[in-house]
A and B are shown apart, each in its own frame.
Chain A
Amino acid sequence: MSEVCGVEQAENVEVKAPELEPEQLQGLLAYLGSSFERAFEAVEPGAHEFRSAIANGNDMNDDDKAINAFKLGYINGLAHSLHLLAFNGAIEKVLNKPENVIRFLSAMSRLFKLYNEYSAGQKRGWLNIYDGLAGVSNELEDFVRDIAVQLKVQE
């Protein structure tokens, strides 16, 4: 009986993640930013998890869930294409430039911010989410285009 009460009490306790300042995570960011491969591995599950959260949510109808799932697939497609390029000699060099890895992380960080806000119930509704996702995909599209420009200049 006491064990059951203990479980109930534990379930009622709100577990709050400790607040972290970005400065406290500089070491982690520097590590992730040191190679495109590391950065990609860190962010890869984001789009899948976000899509799953939207699919299980009750703030959108099925049509709107589909539209956002497509957009998340689009974002994942851009990230995956870049990742495939990361194994190709000259392109790998460009992608691994610290400023490029950081830019990629920054774009994907917008996705995680949106995901966190969605999970916390701070941002809901298909248009809010779609707008946020469009911002991420636009940033990634610009990034891919700039990588192509850098490749041309590097030649």
Chain B
Amino acid sequence: MSEQEQTQKSGLEAFKGILDYMSDSFARAYIFAEVVPANFAYDVAQSSEITEKEKAGLLQSFGEIGALMDMLKAGYDNGLGMTFLENPDNVKEFMTIISRLLALYRDFRNGIMIRPIELSLAVSDIVSDLQSFFIRFMKSINASE
């Protein structure tokens, strides 16, 4: 582990309590990231460094992420797929996916501008992982409840 990684890890240790608390429940994990897809989309739309075509693709992806997150939350609110959504491993997986989105958003807001094509690919990967998560959630409703 590099020195930088060690520093980062020890820095994160200080927040272990709150991270464990948030990743203990799907609803908590959802709430802290609820507005991020729309806010990220809005900020990307304002950027002068991203072409209109790239913006169109990114806004589409942010919309998809928002829809998938909301559908998982709707399932939770309606008591559907609870075994899946309350499984700590699944909550942590959801948190990890969303955390990647938050990291991208933080960098974007801080002006750490990765190339638009890389941003698009990173966001597409998040969409893809959330879609897989959503499919497993829907299958779990049919399989185990």
Contacts and interface: CB of A to CB of B under 8 A. Distances in A.
B85 to A, nearest CB: 12
Contact of B138 (A77, A91, A137): A91
A8 to B, nearest CB: 32
Interface residues of B, number: 37
Nearest to B53: A55
Given A63-B42, A84-B131, A91-B138, A141 B63 contact: no
B143 interface: yes
A88 to B, nearest CB: 6
A147 B80 CA distance: 11
A151 B142 contact: yes
Interface string A50-92: 0110010000001101110111111111101100110010110
A149 interface: yes
Interface string B29-61: 000000001100110111000001001100111
Interface residues of A, number: 38
7 contacts: A47-B60, A66-B44, A66-B45, A73-B60, A81-B131, A145-B75, A148-B138
Given A77-B67, A149-B80, A155-B143, 16 more contacts: A48-B60, A63-B42, A66-B42, A66-B55, A69-B56, A70-B41, A70-B42, A70-B62, A70-B66, A73-B62, A75-B67, A77-B66, A81-B64, A88-B135, A149-B78, A151-B142
A16 interface: no
B56 A77 contact: no
Interface string B72-85: 00110010110000
B78 to A, nearest CB: 6
Contacts of A147: 138
Contacts of A88: 135, 138-139
Contacts of B46: 62-63, 66
